[in-house]
Amino acid sequence: MDRRTFVAASMAASLAPALSSTALASSGKPPMKPPIAPVRPHSFTRHGITISDPYFWLKDQSYPTVDDPDILAYLKAENAYFEDRMGQHSMLVETLFAELKGRVKEDDSAVPHQDGDFLYWWAFQPGGQYRLWYRKPVAGGEPQLLLSEPALAEGKEYFRLGTFAVSPDGRLLAYSADTSGSERYVIVIRDLATGKDIETVASDALGAAVWTPDSKQLVWTQSSAEWRPTKAWLHTLGQSQGQLLHEEKDAGYWVQAAATQDRKHILLNSYIQTTTEVRLIDTANPAAPPRLIRPKKDGVRYSVDTRGDTLYILTNEDHVNFALKTAPLATPANWTVLIPGSERSYLTGHAVFASYIALEERLDGLDQIRLLFPDGRDQRIAFPEASYTVSLGTNAQADAPQLRLGYSSMVTPQTVFDYDVAAGNLAVRKVQQIPSGYDASQYATERLIATARDGTKVPISVVYKKDYKKDGSQPLHVYGYGAYGISMPPSFSASRLTLLNRGFAYAIAHIRGGDDLGYQWYLDGKLEKRANTFNDFIDCTEHLHRSGFGRAGFTSASGGSAGGWLMGVVVNERPELWRAIIADVPFVDVVNTMLDESLPLTPGEWPEWGDPRTDAAAFKRLIRLSPYEQVRARNYPAMLITGGLSDPRVTYWEPAKWTARLRATKTDDNLLLLKINMGAGHGGKSGRFDSLRELAEEYAFIFTAFDGAAKA
């Protein structure tokens, strides 16, 4: 079936709740014509290959300042076109937004966690976009408001809280905020007795701030001009000049500060995705030079926690799925294996408590929490479902007799458990409430296994309503990411119900490039193996079709950031598979970005994708896989592309250039929209309801594409 043809019989039942005649009412105005970006010839030659880049001019040469009037005019024209076309479905957007908002508990709050003498938690007020942060004494007493995000966000288009750290004596709060989306955070010290901000530590921070035990000093990391946190500073209260503890000189490496579980040390982690190096600060003498545990070695990652005079080190030094090792604090480079690496068990994290060690692991691809006791006992916590995701929650004390965990599945809402370590019992502390109602018994989930073109078995998680017909007559939505070793767990989403309740099945393709099946799964989706990621997604989609979920031309897909790169490749390679594509803040101008070492992330990306400046093979590979370079005169599905003007991770010109080339080149009349958030960054709008409105727009775009209404 031609993807622009609407088959009423198959869609009437599945989309009826969304696509009523009222919801699709038009404003009556003639549709605006799409903006056409001027072509300005530009090219460059590298490794004997000449690349044409006719939309190079959309990159403001004064970036991060963006004030070129031609660029701003084009972005505003695209936004006006977006508003015009989506405005014709405004009633549908409002219906979907109300539905999404109705699943949000307006006065939601966190389960309190203990830290020292206090219990801490956050809460929303009804209608509030941002959190309020509270505490009260463990011994009893009235709650104290520590920080009001709504007050800090008032009058601002964007607000995001960064670090939130109360001093060990309980008197001071160090917090940071970003009010532009540029991810340059301002760190402020607040006196909790008066509620007054008394000191500004920095205006260019990125990452956590960590107190010393005497509550007089703070370790924080400074972002460079290229938006890379490369310097760690020791700030003493009341002093304007801090002490530089460490500066990372290797291009692409970031430095972040963190406290050990016992808070007797502060860790300075220097890292890129594939390699780490850790330094240790003794909190009894924080001004002393940090102690290097082991120098960085290409491809070796390690993370550290401490207990007493022993280091506990999680590392892939001699096994791809990581091992747990120990070392004396006095000789930190002398590592001894405690838990060896395993082909089945992939160790992903650890916390060293006073009476046991908690390991996060994946056993045959399924999340586990494993406890190791000093007497040699080894215990895995049992959970009620066969497929789920679980992780350590907030455990701020040196020991955790009640271990806080976060849990969900494709059909089970987010659940907070406390695990009684001595009794071996799970206690439910909170289950995500869905005020508009949710009946898990109406939904089903499956784990399918697709065979990729090279024979690799790739898992897929699928969820759908139980009345879904697996005969290709109902729509399918597929999501993927596949980069940086970030897994996409089979977790719950209340927002996803909007798709499921309208007859969609929703699938997560656990493709290579993530670490869903172990660290090798990640390695098999990077550098010269990068094409596996894109091939897996296509092969998973076709397997879903053969299994009765959707069909070619009756399937939508989405991904963001590096997942936007995924969307760009699969829509170039197999455009006939998709009816609608959502590409959020997509990394699509791959060749140009990887050649520009002045951009924030580029040097750290070379170990991921290759360095096209010096490596001709990497240059040619990235050309083949670059969505911007590979746009061709062909039919494309309906596409919604987003970006953020202040986004430092995927700069605004990547989605803008890709859209411009697509609009000038494609041969169909399917709708192509670009939305650039002029006051936000990589994560889109920051308020919890503002972000839901953007999701409502995306869902409306998908539904109207399936209805045949998304035509330019």
The catalytic residues are: 561, 647, 682
Residues sharing a CB contact under 8 Å with residue 610, sequence separation 6 or more, in sequence order: 527, 528, 594, 617, 618, 619, 621, 622
Q: What CA–CA distance (Å, rounded) separates 490 from 488?
A: 7
Q: What CA–CA distance (Å, rounded) separates 558 from 541?
A: 12
Q: What CA–CA distance (Å, rounded) separates 645 from 656?
A: 10
For residue 213, is the peptide bond before it cis, meaning its omega torsion is within 30 degrees of 0? no
Neighbours of 525 (CB within 10 A): 25
Which residues is 392 bridged to in the sheet? 405
Q: What CA–CA distance (Å, rounded) separates 596 from 606?
A: 11
Burial class (CB in 10 A: 0-12, 13-18, 19+), 267: buried
Strand-pair category, 425-431 with 443-451: unpaired
The distance between the two most distant Cα atoms of the chain, rounded to a whole number of Å, is 76
Q: What CA–CA distance (Å, rounded) separates 473 from 191?
A: 61
Name the residue among 106, 130, 131, 105 with its Cα closest to residue 120: 131
Chain position carrying tokens 């909190």: 283
Neighbours of 386 (CB within 10 A): 9
- Angle of helix 688-707 relative to helix 8-15, nearest 10 degrees? 160
Q: Are the beta carbons of 403 and 421 closer than 8 angstroms? A: yes
Q: What CA–CA distance (Å, rounded) separates 402 from 426?
A: 9
